[in-house]
Structure 1
Amino acid sequence: MATAPSPDPPVDAWLTRSQVAERLQIPEKTLAQWASQKKGPPYRRFGRHTRYLLSQCIAWENSQFSGGDAA
């Protein structure tokens, strides 16, 4: 019996700036500004293309929690 493919990308998938912006629900322009200010999730450049490793985005997201209970 075949199983349905998982809708989530693998944890080490490379995401585009557009995909990360959608994930964080922020404009792509904000990610570009953060990159120029050395803020935001870590990224890599492949020629003209900016890519974010999903596992690093998740780690960055988890490091952003401050105050209150994360329950």
Structure 2
Amino acid sequence: MDLPEDRLWTVEEAAYFLNVPVKTLYQWKWLGEGPPVRKVGRHLRYNPARLRAWADLDEAA
């Protein structure tokens, strides 16, 4: 999957990048955990740069 860097990612794209199920991202959002996410209307969207930074922080811990 070629992930675009010039727009916000969908839940499916973020899950692909993190190699986790989509359901995990929804659970993290509900629990107030996981990567930074924003709602656009009723859809969750992820900023690629912030998602990468979160993944890097998690690796450093």
Fold match (TM-score > 0.5)? yes
Larger helix fraction of residues: 2
Partner of residue 58 from structure 2, selected from 24, 47, 64: 64
In 2, the alpha carbon distance for the partners of 1:65 and 1:31 equals: 17
The two structures have a TM-score, normalised by structure 2, of 0.86
Gaps of 5+ in 2: none
In 1, the alpha carbon distance for the partners of 2:54 and 2:41 equals: 24
SS in 2 for 1:57: helix
Root-mean-square deviation (Å) = 1.6
Percent identity reads 37
The two structures have a TM-score, normalised by structure 1, of 0.75
Maintained 8 Å contact 2:3/2:13: no
Show the counterpart of 2:22.
28
Show the counterpart of 1:40.
34
Q: After TM superposition, what 4+ stretches of structure 1 lie above 4 angstroms from structure 2?
A: none
Gaps of 5+ in 1: 1-6
Larger strand fraction of residues: 1
Greater CA radius of gyration, 1 or 2?
1
Q: CA deviation at 1:13?
A: 2.4
